[in-house]
Amino acid sequence: MAPIRQLPVLQNWDCHQCGSCCTDYWVPISEEERQRILAQGWEQEPEYRGVPLFVKYGPPWRRRYRLAQTKGDRCVFLDERGLCKIHAKFGLHAKPFACRLYPYILVPHGDHWRVSMRFACPSAAANKGRCLSEAAEELHDLAREMEQWDQRPGYQRPRGPGLGDPPSLDGRQRVGWDDLHLFQDAVIRLFKAGQDDLARRWLKCLALARLCRQARFDKLTGGRLREFLDLVLAAVDAETPRRLDDYAPPGWMGRVLFRQALAIHIRKDQGVRRGVSKQGRLALMSAMWQMLRGTGKLPQLQVGLPDCSFEELEKPLGPLPPEAAQALERYYAVKLSSLQFCGPTYFDYPFWDGLEALALTFPMIRWLIRGFAYLGEPEATHRAISVIDENFGYSPLLGTGRQRLALWILSFRQELDRLIAWYGR
Ligand code: SF4
């Protein structure tokens, strides 16, 4: 089995049994898991007599099962204290794979796996629990199971030999895993530049992407690629303005596409936090239209969004206090070191496109922190990260041609840079 490498040592996590994942998501299960749960004899318990444990979903030619939910969108196996009854009665390994994996994300890297997290889990966003390096054994077991299991939720089967081909660099341009890791290291080096604030680090990453997109890398590889990247990093640092005020504010198109992307990220159409979509399609369309217009009150695309106006969300935020800034840095460190922004864990986006998709979360998170300011810091930042990351790599809307085009326009017109500078204020 392929090893797990480079555990994000800065990241901590333990389940604190808030029950949020058991009330927010559908849990897909394989046929083998369904049979295992059936064999546990739940129908003999009085409370489960006549209660369906599974629901079929998907098109007729690809029917799959998920765990059923009871009133209030709670998992059918969730007890009143927020604990899993399968876990309590039969132990951790009797639970479906999706439940055991959450909130980890295993990202294939050729001959090994790397680990990312779903920061939608409040404990992951708040960095609560054991250091991930202490969970190495558990992650090793999950990776082994992942390699065996053909029905992985949220993942596509890695293609080719080993753990799959590397994501393309840009469109049709491909490099091997070793060279792709050199590009990744270059981005991480920019990101670790502690003398810059986070906004300037992102602006430098975007400048790096622009420069690299103009070059061909079929002959430039290994040590020569490393030298090239060293030169480019120096140029990027020299040419990226130091003051965010040097960037023009985003134009109308940048703002509309930004709010459209925001609408996708903050929208929740299932679970207890389901927003206006539970009032019907018309209400959802009206809320999406309001997001595009960006006037009046922020529509409740999910329960618990700030009760404020778009105008309030435009006010400058200023620098984050150290604990909140560290939470945001940690979030990006985990995503960048795992590559969970491109390839099979991000709709097969090429490396640079996925990096831009991740960069776009920066102005989104800063925008949302303004609305959650009433929580105080670092809770406001934790909550904003949780909300934005929930759909990152998971909402199918982010993988559509329309969203790829929107991201391309933001990048091509350098509106993405302006958004980062504007909401970095
Ligand atoms: S959301 Fe996180 S902390 Fe809460 S129950 Fe799920 S895994 Fe545990």
From atom 2 of ligand 1, which residue's Cα is the shortest distance away?
Answer: 121
CA distance 125 to 381: 9
Best substitution site from 121, 382, 387 to test ligand 1's pocket, by max atoms within 8 Å of Cβ?
Answer: 121
For residues 157 and 392, give the distance between their C-alpha atoms in angstroms, rounded to a whole number: 19
The residue whose CA is least distant from atom 4 of ligand 1 is 18
Could you tell me if 240 and 203 are in contact, meaning their C-beta atoms sit under 8 angstroms apart?
Answer: yes
Span from the CA of 314 to the centroid of ligand 1 (angstroms): 32
**Average per-residue pLDDT in the chain?**
91
How do the domains of the chain map onto residue ranges?
A: 12-148, 166-425
More confident residue, 135 or 171: 135
Whole-number Å distance between alpha carbons of 391 and 266: 8
Q: pLDDT digit string (tens) for 27-52?
A: 999 888 999 999 999 989 999 998 99
The atom of ligand 1 lying closest to the CA of 19 is 5
Q: Say if residue 281 is exposed, middle or buried (CB neighbours under 10 Å; 0-12, 13-18, 19+).
A: exposed
* φ and ψ at residue 111, rounded to 5 degrees: -105, 10
Within a 10 A sphere around the Cβ of 41, how many other Cβ atoms? Answer: 10
Atom in ligand 1 nearest the alpha carbon of residue 120: 1
C-alpha 84 to ligand 1 mean position (Å): 11
Which residues pair with residue 274 across a beta bridge? 302
Residue 77 CA to ligand 1 centre (angstroms): 15
Q: What is the DSSP string of 288-319?
A: HHHHHHT-SBPP-SBTT----BTTGGGS---P
Give the closest residue to 123 by CA, choosing from 9, 21, 268: 21
Helices (H), 192-321: 198-213, 222-239, 252-266, 281-293
**Residue 139 CA to ligand 1 centre (angstroms):** 17
Q: Model pTM? A: 0.92
Task: Please report the sign of the dihedral spanned by the C-alpha atoms of residue 395, residue 399, residue 405, residue 407.
Answer: positive
Distance from the alpha carbon of residue 272 to the mean position of ligand 1, in angstroms: 14
398, HSE (Cβ side, Cα atoms, 13 Å): 30
Which protein residue has the closest C-alpha to ligand 1 atom 6?
21
State whether the Cα torsion 168-169-174-180 is positive or negative. negative
pLDDT digits (tens, 9 = 90+) for 56-75: 988 888 888 999 998 878 99
Residue 103 Cα: closest atom of ligand 1 = 7
pLDDT score recorded for residue 161: 37
Under a CB-based contact definition with an 8 Å cutoff, are residues 98 and 153 in contact? yes
Kindly report which listed range (2-11, 148-157, 162-171) carries the lowest average pLDDT score: 148-157
- Using CB distances shorter than 6 Å, the residues near ligand 1 are 15-21, 102-103, 121, 123
Q: Which residue has the higher pLDDT, 216 or 160?
A: 216
Q: What is the mean pLDDT of residues 165-190?
A: 93
Q: Give residue 404 CA to ligand 1 midpoint distance, Å.
A: 31
List of residues 6+ apart from 228 with CB closer than 8 A? 215, 220
Q: Tell which atom from ligand 1 comes closest to the C-alpha of 16.
A: 3
Specify the residue with its C-alpha closest to ligand 1, atom 8: 15
Residue 20 CA, ligand 1 centroid: distance in Å: 6
Cα(398) to ligand 1 centroid in Å equals 24
Task: Say how many Å lie between the CA of residue 120 and the centre of ligand 1.
Answer: 9
Atom 7 (ligand 1): residue with closest C-alpha? 15
From the CA of 24, give the closest atom in ligand 1: 1
For residues 410 and 288, give the distance between their C-alpha atoms in angstroms, rounded to a whole number: 19
pLDDT, average across residues 81-103: 91
Probe target for ligand 1 pocket from 12, 20, 101, with the most ligand atoms within 8 Å of CB:
20
* Nearest-angstrom CA–CA distance, 304 and 289: 20
d(CA 21, CA 74): 9
Residue type, 396: P
Confidence of residue 159 (pLDDT cuts 50, 70, 90): very low
Q: How far is the CA of 10 from the centre of ligand 1 (A)?
A: 19
Local confidence band at 219 (pLDDT 50, 70, 90 cut-offs): confident
Atom of ligand 1 nearest to the CA of 102: 7
Helices and strands, counts by H and E, the chain = 16, 9
Beta-strand pair 113-117/104-108: antiparallel
Of the pLDDT bands very low, low, confident and very high (cuts 50, 70, 90), residue 147 is confident
